[in-house]
Amino acid sequence: MDKNIPYKTYLEESEMPKQWYNVRADMKNKPAPLLNPKTKKPMTAEELGVVFCDELVKQELNDTDPYIDIPQEIQDFYKMYRPSPLVRAYCLEKALGTPAKIYYKFEGNNTSGSHKLNSAIAQAYYAKKQGLKGVTTETGAGQWGTALSMACAYFGLDCKVFMVKVSYEQKPFRREVMRTYGASVTPSPSETTNVGKKILAEHPGTTGSLGCAISEAVEVAVGTEGYRYVLGSVLNQVLLHQSVIGLESKIAFEKLGVKPDIIIGCAGGGSNLGGLISPFMGEKLRGEADYRFIAVEPSSCPSLTRGKYAYDYCDTGMVCPLSKMYTLGSGFIPSANHAGGLRYHGMSSTLSQLYDDKLMEAVSVEQTSVFEAAQKFARIEGILPAPESSHAIRVAIDEALKCKETGEEKTILFGLTGTGYFDMVAYQKFNDGLMTDYIPTDEDLAKGFAGLPEV
Amino acid sequence: MDKNIPYKTYLEESEMPKQWYNVRADMKNKPAPLLNPKTKKPMTAEELGVVFCDELVKQELNDTDPYIDIPQEIQDFYKMYRPSPLVRAYCLEKALGTPAKIYYKFEGNNTSGSHKLNSAIAQAYYAKKQGLKGVTTETGAGQWGTALSMACAYFGLDCKVFMVKVSYEQKPFRREVMRTYGASVTPSPSETTNVGKKILAEHPGTTGSLGCAISEAVEVAVGTEGYRYVLGSVLNQVLLHQSVIGLESKIAFEKLGVKPDIIIGCAGGGSNLGGLISPFMGEKLRGEADYRFIAVEPSSCPSLTRGKYAYDYCDTGMVCPLSKMYTLGSGFIPSANHAGGLRYHGMSSTLSQLYDDKLMEAVSVEQTSVFEAAQKFARIEGILPAPESSHAIRVAIDEALKCKETGEEKTILFGLTGTGYFDMVAYQKFNDGLMTDYIPTDEDLAKGFAGLPEV
């Protein structure tokens, strides 16, 4: 054990970030703007305001201000479950016999079980401030839906959640957590929306996808007085709020006098990865420091590693704006792999641009190897990780083992986004030796690409 | 918000306790000794050594040393998930409109979901040090079993868990967590032991109890080479290990310059309550300070408030030593209320003696009012509490509301022992309005008392 590095580093409340960091301000090549799906012209604030809260629209479109104040109410809420610890994985290092120094930023110590609460509370705050009655959203693994239901309960907002059907069935208790916080939860696709009916007619028996659930949630938000839609990933505003993860990590590392070499995060829509790397990426963009960034995605849904960089629909129902991103096509319905939070066909436009500019790497990993890493991590470090987070663990372990071969003492940081307490159906499959891997064929992907819109 | 009191107070690693506190050393009236059920004479270390690890037997019998060193390996493991935060419940205070200052010591931020890990790691450590192959145990809500499976995975010990059948069925995913950590889990009563077969023959269809599960676990431990039995509550050794909760709380309060007036904990076998109050009780016993201590138990299993102070069997199968305690009789099988961790017929002999000496109060509360408090707490403070912990929340709220009436600015500390993530079947019942209360009649209790042994 390094004498000056504790197992866990917490910031004092007075050291916690008072501003979010907006990485777009430091990007030379800005992420491409959202387009109106009909006119193919950039979405205006007015158009976006039909779907999103006004203040969030401003944040969505702001690619010039590097820092945006965190309102005091949100700072106060953050203090209820933050700062999250920066943990030195001494036991994992020892078990691997690696000279690498492994750290993780653990975001799972709150009831939503993940980092999702960081943006949920911000979005609920702005909705409340605008005088809205409630919000609608989708959820995959259920972590975002839980986070939003917690945030809405705190501010007294109604919360309508569309939950991807496969997750709804695999995670019955997630629904009860959301209900305990007063939210309503509908499995998606559902018969309660036009777009849900259409998808069910076209794909009877579908287990759903985030893309479907988004379409349903947007339809309800736009059609209900006093409601807006909120989203837990992909959007610029979400990456902005999630920058609190990276900001806290950076401050903690500075206190310790340590600089990471490699920063690893799992990537579904990009909320965790974007939030974790943003402030470090800012340094890299400004030429102040260099880091290796690695996005980890499931090989069953490989938007960065095998997708196309193109304008695409954010949702299956094609009701949302077009976003330029690495995508598998909005018609791509991923296999029912167990990392529900990573089952999205596209990727944050900010991260897509950074990846296209070769400022970030990406790898894809298979499910069984992810759960092997998850089980190892649970037994050694004590925390039962979410399947999503375990993608990052897998690659952190792989990088640490490379260091063992080369003898390099690299410092690795990965984002441990959440806990797997509601993922025991997946763990059970793994424990019983029944888990399989799925890698889409080129033909599978071609079908998704065929649906890309012309822009 | 008090300017000098943060939401959460964490100790530095260097401030964490290096010794456990043994409250028995400061008690004038020592807890009565365990008796051999056949000879009715005090159990010797040799006799206890058949069931328990040698070092733990020493701790069990030691009522003179006030402080016992925490081995370095255990201190290191504690650093993986401790210190636990001492939280100021600002939002709850505001919601209640009370002048009271409410604090809670939150023990749920680890994968076992509760304080149980504090003793599990200690017991596993001593088993490993003695060169044992494995340990057996029982679990009610599943938190103790999970904690022990984590501790055994860490030290490479085999772990056999007997899980009370009603919990096994209500909490299918708990079993998978334990399996993920490599433990075997058997619903109790089972056909795998003689005592299990006997109980099933006498009470076909029983949903089990902690008392049954203990009997089965002890039978297997005694009958298997290289195994010993470990227990998550009731015993003196467990209260000793759990004193880390109270010690950390006390140090944190001293840092803040605050002194609690009322200390509240839920009480099943006494592990949390004993651990939380021990160091404060020590001050009271030594005449250095005064506190009100309140034990909260479910009205469905009211060992302190309606039980008898007498020698009784610790288990249903009557294979364990006799313990003098407040008890409902080892034959009392509590109703299937949802706080599995509080479904035990007896109470720690240390706490029983303190209660009998009127150094501590006790109240019983009904299940539905407990879940009302749990839901309120979840929505206001963000954390979804375990049903067990929610008993303490209920009474903390009640005491805070009394302060609202009287205008007194009392400082209340309660133990938030764990999270309810695996208790969603119970929450679902509550959410659906289907939860009921159960209070045993005097006749019900008389049946249990009839089985008390003559000593």
DSSP class of B253 = H
Mean pLDDT across chain B: 95
**For chain A, what's the residue count?**
455
Q: Which two tokens stand for residue B228?
A: 């010993």
In a domain, A107, yes or no: yes
In a domain, B209, yes or no: no
Give CA separation, A37 vs A138, A227, A451, A453, B202, in Å.
Answer: 21, 22, 14, 9, 71
B positions 378-437 inside 8 Å of A (CB): 378-384, 419, 421-422, 424-425, 427-428, 430-431
Kindly report the nearest CA distance between residue A332 and chain B, in angstroms: 31
Q: Which two tokens stand for residue A435?
A: 């888990």
Q: What is the 3-state secondary structure (H, E, C) of chain A?
A: CCCCCCCEECCCHHHCCCEEECHHHHCCCCCCCCECCCCCCECCHHHHHCCCCHHHHHHHHCCCCCEEECCHHHHHHHHHHCCCCEEECHHHHHHHCCCCEEEEEECCCCCCCECCHHHHHHHHHHHHHCCCCEEEEEECCCHHHHHHHHHHHHHCCEEEEEEEHHHHHHCHHHHHHHHHCCCEEEEECCCCCHHHHHHHHHCCCCCCCHHHHHHHHHHHHHHCCCEEECCCCCCHHHHHHHHHHHHHHHHHHHHHCCCCCEEEEECCCCHHHHHHHHHHHHHHHCCCCCCEEEEEEECCCCHHHHCEEEEEECCCCCCCCEEEEEECCCCCCCCCCCCHHHCCCCCCHHHHHHHHCCCCEEEEECHHHHHHHHHHHHHHHCCCECHHHHHHHHHHHHHHHHHHHHCCCCEEEEEECEECCCCHHHHHHHHCCCCCCCCCCHHHHHHHHHCCCCC
Q: Which domain holds residue A86?
A: 8-15+71-113+236-449
Chain B partners of A6 at a C-beta cutoff of 8 Å?
Answer: 12-13, 79
Q: Is B101 strand, coil or helix?
A: strand
Kindly identify which residue of chain B lies nearest to residue A111, measuring between CA atoms. Answer: B383
Is B382 within 8 Å of A150 (Cβ atoms)? yes
Q: Which sign, positive or negative, has the C-alpha torsion B173, B174, B179, B181? A: positive
The pLDDT, as a whole number, for residue A109 is 93
The pLDDT, as a whole number, for residue A401 is 98
Chain A partners of B379 at a C-beta cutoff of 8 Å?
Answer: 150, 153-154, 181-182
- If one compares A455 and B13, the residue with the highest pLDDT of the two is B13
- Cα A176 from Cα A146, distance rounded (Å): 10
Digit-coded pLDDT (tens) for B216-262: 999 999 999 999 999 999 999 999 999 999 999 999 999 999 999 99
User: How confident is the prediction along chain A (455 residues), in pLDDT tens digits per residue?
Assistant: 788 899 999 999 999 999 999 999 999 999 999 999 999 999 999 999 999 999 999 999 999 999 999 999 999 999 999 999 999 999 999 999 999 999 999 999 999 999 999 999 999 999 999 999 999 999 987 999 999 999 999 999 999 999 999 889 878 899 999 999 999 999 999 999 999 999 999 999 998 888 889 999 999 999 999 999 999 999 999 999 999 999 999 999 999 999 999 999 999 999 999 999 999 999 999 999 999 999 999 999 999 999 999 999 988 888 889 999 999 998 887 776 677 778 889 999 999 999 999 999 999 999 999 999 999 999 999 999 999 999 999 999 999 999 999 999 999 999 999 999 999 989 999 999 999 999 999 999 999 999 999 98
In a domain, B158, yes or no: no
Chain A partners of B382 at a C-beta cutoff of 8 Å?
Answer: 80-81, 110-111, 150, 154
In a domain, B228, yes or no: no
pLDDT for B339 beyond 80: no
Asked if B111's CB is within 8 angstroms of A382's CB, the reply is: yes
Kindly write down the DSSP assignment for every residue of B129-147, as one continuous string.
HTT-SEEEEEESSSHHHHH
Question: Would you tell me how many other CB atoms lie within 10 Å of the CB of residue B181?
Answer: 25
- Cα A154 from Cα A132, distance rounded (Å): 14
In a domain, A175, yes or no: no
A positions 234-253 inside 8 Å of B (CB): none
In a domain, B93, yes or no: yes
How far is Cα of residue B331 from the mean position of the Cα atoms in its chain?
A: 20
| Residue B2 pLDDT grade (very low, low, confident, very high; cuts 50, 70, 90) | confident
Asked if B180's CB is within 8 angstroms of A384's CB, the reply is: yes
Percent pLDDT > 70 in chain B is 100
**CATH code of the domain containing B81:** 3.40.50.1100
Kindly identify which residue of chain A lies nearest to residue B179, measuring between CA atoms. Answer: A431
pLDDT for B340 beyond 80: no
Q: A9 - beta bridge partners?
A: A86
The pLDDT, as a whole number, for residue A336 is 67
ipTM field: 0.94
Kindly report the nearest CA distance between residue A420 and chain B, in angstroms: 9
Smallest Cβ–Cβ distance between B379 and the set A76, A182, A419 belongs to A182
Chain B partners of A142 at a C-beta cutoff of 8 Å?
Answer: none
| Residue B275 pLDDT grade (very low, low, confident, very high; cuts 50, 70, 90) | very high
The number of domains in chain B is 1
| Disruptive mutation site among B82, B111, B181 for chain A (greatest number of A CBs within 10 Å) | B111
In a domain, A176, yes or no: no
Asked if A79's CB is within 8 angstroms of B379's CB, the reply is: no
What value does the mean pLDDT take over residues B172-194? 95
A184 touches chain B (CB under 8 A): no
Is A331 within 8 Å of A264 (Cβ atoms)? no
Digit-coded pLDDT (tens) for B382-408: 999 999 999 999 999 999 999 999 999
Backbone angles phi, psi at B194, to 5 degrees: -65, -45
Q: What pTM, to 2 d.p., does this model score?
A: 0.95
The pLDDT, as a whole number, for residue A451 is 92
In a domain, B345, yes or no: yes
| Residue B336 pLDDT grade (very low, low, confident, very high; cuts 50, 70, 90) | low
